[in-house]
Amino acid sequence: MSATNTVLNAHSPAGFREQWATRAVFLVAGLAMAAWAPLVPFAKARVGVEDGGLGLLLLCLGLGSILAMPITGILANRFGCRAVIVGGSLAVALVLPLLALVDTVPALAITLALFGASVGTVDVAVNIQAVMVEKDSGRNMMSGFHGLFSLGGILGAGGLSLLIGAGISPLLATVTISVMLVVLLVFAFSGLLPYGNHEGGKTPLFVVPKGIVIFIGILCFLVFLGEGAILDWSALFLIGTHLVDPSQAGFGYTMFAIAMTVGRLTGDWIVKTLGGMIVVVGGGLLSAAGFLLAVYAPSQPLAFAGFLLVGIGASNIVPVLFTAAGKQTRMPASLAIASITTLGYAGILAGPAAIGFVAQHWNLSTAFVLVAAGLIFVAVSWPFTARR
């Protein structure tokens, strides 16, 4: 056994300190990602682009994340989760205020790519830590960890909207969020794992999915596309379609994040009580109804309620899909989950650029109706897929 593997295998099992550190970093990731949502209208106005141009800019955010994710796995295995999480979190804290400052298209494109890369780095590294912490605990903790990500979404979108609504400039508001990120990082530091895996083995960076895994990945893509649509486009949609004040438009994502948080924190009980079939079918239909309500609502409160319905319906679909991917026999479970995760991230990161294309040629309402159609497809197709 090499000296490196000896060190990796000699670590002490993760305990309560590591569990709380993992929760804190999930909070950092959710807080940082969601803080971008209320900034979208301000950034769009500063650089003077139409919806199609904004969609291309948002693609830079997705490309930054997708490029950083496989590299993060290598860095975490070599330098440990602690080093990667600290570096990624500090990068997020530095880049976030720039999103409220840059005023040219090239500068915003570069800043979004850096923001996407740094958030993606933190996201992947903390999930690597979460897998090891959960394994050492001997308990199912993943839903709770991801619930903290959703809680971060509430604090990020809602908190930044409150600050801007109170008259604080977007720049000062983002600096405040960045300070919060650093404080959480300091709290978590001692519990971050100095290693990146238990055995020192290598895992594939990408696996081409096979058979039913491809279809499950497509369903994940459609669900994550809905999440990405709300993150990047809900504020502009509420302003343009329902004449919501820009300082309040970020609350659309906040409503969605609240519903997702509650759904995830109670998800294990919901799936056990209702069963995975009802969760996917009912959740897909409920999410689609939420998008349609947001589009056709005759009043602003009903439009916000639509995003709440989307969050309730979508919150537990992906966990059920991941469980199904783990049970299928066409591919090893770990490789199948890696594949559908990659496809899912493509939906949440690159999909919103396609929404921008639709909005440019038609409008955001049409784009949201198409997203609703995708969620209906998830609900209708799952009973046939689950039997295979």
Residues 178 and 219 in one domain: no
Would you place residue 75 in the very low, low, confident or very high pLDDT band (cuts 50, 70, 90)?
confident
Residues 244 and 304 in one domain: yes
Q: What is the rounded average pLDDT of the residues 207-230?
A: 84
Residues 229 and 356 in one domain: yes
Q: Is the pLDDT assigned to residue 206 strictly greater than 60?
A: no
Alpha helices in the chain (DSSP H): 3-9, 16-35, 40-47, 51-79, 81-95, 105-137, 142-165, 170-188, 212-242, 251-265, 267-274, 276-296, 300-314, 317-327, 333-349, 351-361, 364-386
Structural domain includes residue 5: no
pLDDT value, residue 2 = 39
pLDDT value, residue 158 = 84
Output DSSP code: residue 98. Answer: G
pLDDT digits (tens, 9 = 90+) for 160-179: 989 988 889 999 999 999 99
Structural domain includes residue 1: no
pLDDT digits (tens, 9 = 90+) for 17-53: 999 999 999 999 999 988 988 898 899 889 888 877 8
pLDDT value, residue 336 = 63
pLDDT value, residue 83 = 95
What's the CATH number where 47 sits?
A: 1.20.1250.20
Would you place residue 130 in the very low, low, confident or very high pLDDT band (cuts 50, 70, 90)?
confident
| Cα separations in angstroms, 343 against 59, 112, 119 | 15, 21, 18
Would you place residue 326 in the very low, low, confident or very high pLDDT band (cuts 50, 70, 90)?
low
Q: Is the pLDDT assigned to residue 273 strictly greater than 50?
A: yes
Q: What is the rounded average pLDDT of the residues 209-232?
A: 85
Its domain, for residue 235, covers 207-388
Structural domain includes residue 388: yes
Burial of 190 (0-12, 13-18, 19+ CB in 10 A): exposed
Cβ contacts of residue 188 below 8 Å, gap of 6+? 20, 21, 22, 24, 25, 28, 85
Residues 52 and 167 in one domain: yes
Residues 221 and 185 in one domain: no
Structural domain includes residue 6: no
Amino acid found at 134? E
Number of independent structural domains in the chain: 2
Q: Is the pLDDT assigned to residue 331 strictly greater than 50?
A: yes
Q: Which of 198, 222, 245 is the last residue of a domain?
A: 198
The C-alpha atoms of residue 122 and residue 383 are separated, in whole angstroms, by: 35
The C-alpha atoms of residue 308 and residue 328 are separated, in whole angstroms, by: 32
pLDDT digits (tens, 9 = 90+) for 370-386: 999 999 999 999 988 76
Instruction: Identify the CA nearest to 78 among candidates 2, 4, 149.
Output: 4
Structural domain includes residue 8: no
Cβ contacts of residue 160 below 8 Å, gap of 6+? 35, 38, 39, 173, 174, 177, 250
Residues 386 and 249 in one domain: yes
Residues 360 and 218 in one domain: yes
Q: Is the pLDDT assigned to residue 7 strictly greater than 50?
A: no
- pLDDT, greater one: 224 or 143: 224
Six token digits for residue 125: 């590294």
Residues 30 and 84 in one domain: yes
User: pTM to 2 decimals?
Assistant: 0.72
Q: What is the rounded average pLDDT of the residues 195-216?
A: 66
pLDDT value, residue 380 = 95
Residues 182 and 328 in one domain: no
Q: Is the pLDDT assigned to residue 207 strictly greater than 80?
A: no
pLDDT value, residue 222 = 93
Residues 32 and 80 in one domain: yes
Q: Is the pLDDT assigned to residue 3 strictly greater than 50?
A: no
Q: Which of 198, 227, 252 is the last residue of a domain?
A: 198
- pLDDT, greater one: 333 or 15: 15
Residues 175 and 265 in one domain: no
Amino acid found at 104? T
Q: Which of 164, 198, 232 is the last residue of a domain?
A: 198
Residues 138 and 174 in one domain: yes
Output DSSP code: residue 362. Answer: S
Structural domain includes residue 262: yes
Mean pLDDT of the chain: 83
